[in-house]
A and B are shown apart, each in its own frame.
Chain A
Amino acid sequence: MPGARPTQVPEPIPDQDAIRCDACPVLCYIKPGRAGSCDRYANANGQLVRVDPHVILGHALSQGTSLVPFLDQTKEWEGNIVPGYEAFVTAIGAGTTYPDYKPAPFIISSQVQGVDMVTVVTEGIFSYCGVKVKIDTDRHLGPETNTVRAQGEAVGHVTTSEYGSQMLSLGGVRHLTGGSRKEGTVTCETLLNLCEKRPVELTVDGGATVIVQAGLPPVVDGYKEERMRVGCGSATIGMFAKQWHGKVDEVVVVDDHITGVLSEHQAGKLLGVPATGIKMKGRRSTPGRYFRVAEPGTAWGGTNIDDPLSILEPFNPKLAWPKLRLLMVSTTGEHRAYFELDENLRPVETELPKALSDSVARIKENCEPALSAVLFMGGAGGSLRAGVTENPVRLTYSVRDALTRVTCGGAPVYVWPGGGITFMVDVTRMPNNAFGYVPTPALVAPIEFTLKRDDYAALGGHMDHVRSLDSLKQSDTRRHLNAHPENPWPLSPTAQKKADL
């Protein structure tokens, strides 16, 4: 026969990591972290699990694992909505209506405490979107408005810093579609990774390189940030002055923003702490408070200094005395050094006495864990709103009047006042794999609108497309998760705010 040739049969290669799926007669061998040929069943750490795309949140009495174990226990969701158990259909994996402005993929009705509710779920394509990143660190990440890059491409900028945190604004339509193709692609990938709680390395022009991952400590120039400062240097003096009184003669709390000096500070004066003849570098603001003792950086208290003595001038010999005890500490307690003045009034580093190391530990304890927070921010455009109602602007009004609740993968959102439906959501409150993208490039994010059935009809909803929750239960293509324990239940009437008042 033409084309025929003997060849060896490719026998399945035995692989001790692989498991054999028996969900269908194909009997795939599946390696860890991979899915079978159906893309429905996967090997998660040796366990066969279902990875169906459409996510339904369960509001169960007990909190269990996120993935539904396959052919295991009675846990597998069979679509039975039993009393005491509610299901909320998210938009994750629901599909989108673009580009043929038709009703949203799923418009689900359900009864909640006797009230007919409707949830419209759709995956929005957001070309106007981005993330706001809050990085808990006093380390200087880079000057305000400077460009933030990923893989060398501009993906955003440094924006105004907040208390104890540096803020980045990433994405947006200008980086996504306004620049080069590569800039758009890298921006889209960066946003997607951040939203999916994956680590992303970002570099600030003229600043630091930081690894950001939602809900985890930031890593600044290779240094893992542990704690947020409890207050600025001056505030720290105020908080701890009493605990230091009598145990040390002088304390300097080093801070890039305001460095505090105990003996000159109002708090020290009130306690009667005598002048020590200390002379600080930098610009004095009010007594005991100094700006710019050094340049911003990633060392002591968000400055660039490694040697704390470098911010001190020689002590005033008329006021200082030999054996004077000096504690220098950063605002987070991570850096500290203890000195005593010698005969020539020069500080000599000595071991930190126990009483003082306790107070340093106290500072540290009062500094909360430093985290990176990632908020996805997007605006629901006209065509997305048209999938909900025939008269898109009424949806905006309904959201404004709190008749309609907006959720993102079941997570609560903050909707900005003013026009449109522009919202922010904490990505750590959302299920995994909630986001996607299209090559525009633009991000795909789930969005759900929940409202009373009557209100839905009143705003021109697609009533003929409303289907019952039960109509979904026969389908095999759903992923069933337990709701995030900290999220308000999206269907809960108590969260209906104005509508019920």
Chain B
Amino acid sequence: MRAQVQLLPGGRLHFHDGPIDLIVEAFGTRNTINHAYQAASARFITVLDELCEEHSLLRQPPVDWPKGQVAKSMYAAVLPYAQDTFITPMAAVAGAVADEILRSIIGNMTTAANPTRAYVNNGGDIAFHLAPGESFTIGLIDHPDQPSLFGTTTVYSYQATRGIATSGWRGRSFSLGIADAVTVLAETAAQADAAATIIANAVDLPDHPAITRVPACDLAPDSDLGTRQVTQAVGPLTPEEISTALEAGAVVAYRLVSRGLIHSAALNLSGETRIASPHVGAVALGRPPEKIPA
């Protein structure tokens, strides 16, 4: 068996298969949690194989609907953008896997036996479930490669948000933009994942000399981005340049908010943050810690 499932301290479950690492946690009675974890494990085992079966189709812009359930979610998530820009379903893979595992937990139970809360965290792309009256507080980071909170946001059960995703050039996937991190709240993790990719690509300063870009295929010969230039380093930027790049991304983010594709977004570049949200307070930013005690 290639896939691995391991119980972590604190009652969380760690799923691992190839490039997929999930942290799953369900809240409720012991029995409910057991059921949830068994359902998630049963579903997880085949996910990577299903995706790899259609890998080449998923690595090209949307032309034909794939067959797999996860693949279809990925495809649907990127479709709204395919008219205007280059994007492949792979842009939503992490979110779509998180959604699928969450669905397996919730869908296999009667409403009464459902966990009060549950989340599936796929490397920062998170799908979650909230029973009425429940909420999740989510920490926001401004550098995906360095876990440090710059704020938190709380999602309540009465809100429509059930997915969160983060994208940026410092993350595990390539980015065409220079955002350190763009975090998006949307109805599903797959939708958030695709939108975060689009917005992070838009945070950019084209032709800026301090930005190092390399053809994606030079780094990973099988990248779906082919010869497109992906960001590898961002040198020092002036406050004006940071502002210009963030504005470019925020314009795109607001457009997605008004199209109803996402609920809100937080854009980070060089320590500066822009919030794109339909109304003030939708993303309540907590204060960052004053200093880290050693």
Contact = CB atoms under 8 A, between A and B. Distances in A.
Interface stretch (A5-13, A139-147, A245-253): A5-13
Contact of B294 (A14, A25, A380): A380
Interface in A428-482: 436-440, 442, 465, 474-477
Interface in B207-249: 217-226, 236
A38 B218 contact: no
Contacts of A98: 292-293
Contacts of B149: 99
Nearest to B139: A99
A304 interface: no
B45 interface: no
Of listed B19, B55, B62, residue having the most chain A CB within 10 A? B19
Interface in B104-153: 142-143, 146-149
- In this complex, the interface size class of chain B, counting residues with CB under 8 Å from chain A, is 35 or more
Contact of B224 (A3, A10, A28, A379): A10
Given A24-B2, A438-B146, A12 B222 contact: yes
Contact of B221 (A13, A26, A37, A379): A13
Interface string A142-167: 00000000000000000000000000
B82 interface: yes
Of listed A24, A129, A181, residue having the most chain B CB within 10 A? A24
Contacts of B83: 2-3
A456 to B, nearest CB: 18
Contacts of B81: 3
A124 interface: yes
Contacts of B143: 439
A128 B220 contact: no
Given A26-B55, A383-B293, A474-B6, A438 B148 contact: yes
A125 B61 CA distance: 43
Contacts of B18: 23-26, 37-38
Contacts of A24: 2, 17-19, 48
A9 B60 contact: yes
A18 interface: yes
Given A4-B63, A181-B271, A438 B292 contact: yes
A405 B212 CA distance: 45
Interface string A28-52: 1111001011110000000000000
Given A7-B61, A10-B224, A439-B143, A26 B19 contact: yes
B56 A9 contact: yes
Given A9-B60, A10-B60, A440-B148, A3 B79 contact: yes
A384 B294 contact: yes
B62 A3 contact: yes
A378 B55 CA distance: 48
Contact of B82 (A5, A13, A23, A379): A5
Nearest to A40: B19
Contacts of B294: 124-129, 378-381, 383-384, 442
Nearest to B141: A439
B59 interface: yes
B198 to A, nearest CB: 13
Contacts of A474: 6
A3 B219 contact: no
B287 interface: no
B66 interface: no
A397 B276 CA distance: 52
Interface in B1-60: 2, 4, 6, 9, 16-20, 48-49, 52, 55-56, 59-60
Contact of B293 (A29, A177, A381): A381
Given A6-B63, A10-B224, A29-B222, A475 B291 contact: no
A79 interface: no
A299 B220 CA distance: 48
A342 to B, nearest CB: 60
Contact of A3 (B16, B80, B223, B291): B80
A439 B143 CA distance: 8
A26 B48 contact: yes
A99 B60 contact: no
Of listed B2, B4, B17, B146, residue having the most chain A CB within 10 A? B146
A31 B218 CA distance: 8
A440 B236 contact: no
A203 to B, nearest CB: 18
A99 B289 contact: yes
Nearest to B10: A102
A57 B220 CA distance: 31
B259 interface: no
A182 interface: yes
Nearest to B123: A39
B172 interface: yes
Of listed A10, A24, A182, A477, residue having the most chain B CB within 10 A? A10
A120 to B, nearest CB: 14
Contacts of A2: 79, 83
Nearest to A383: B293
18 contacts: A2-B79, A2-B83, A7-B60, A13-B217, A13-B226, A15-B217, A24-B19, A25-B52, A26-B52, A30-B220, A31-B218, A36-B19, A99-B292, A380-B294, A382-B293, A384-B294, A475-B6, A476-B4
Interface of A: 1-10, 12-15, 18, 23-31, 34, 36-39, 98-99, 124-129, 177, 181-182, 378-384, 436-440, 442, 465, 474-477
* CB-based closest 8 A-B pairs: A24-B18, A381-B294, A3-B82, A38-B19, A25-B52, A29-B221, A12-B222, A37-B19
Given A18-B221, A26-B55, A439-B143, 11 more contacts: A8-B60, A10-B226, A24-B18, A28-B222, A31-B220, A31-B221, A34-B220, A99-B149, A126-B294, A383-B294, A476-B4
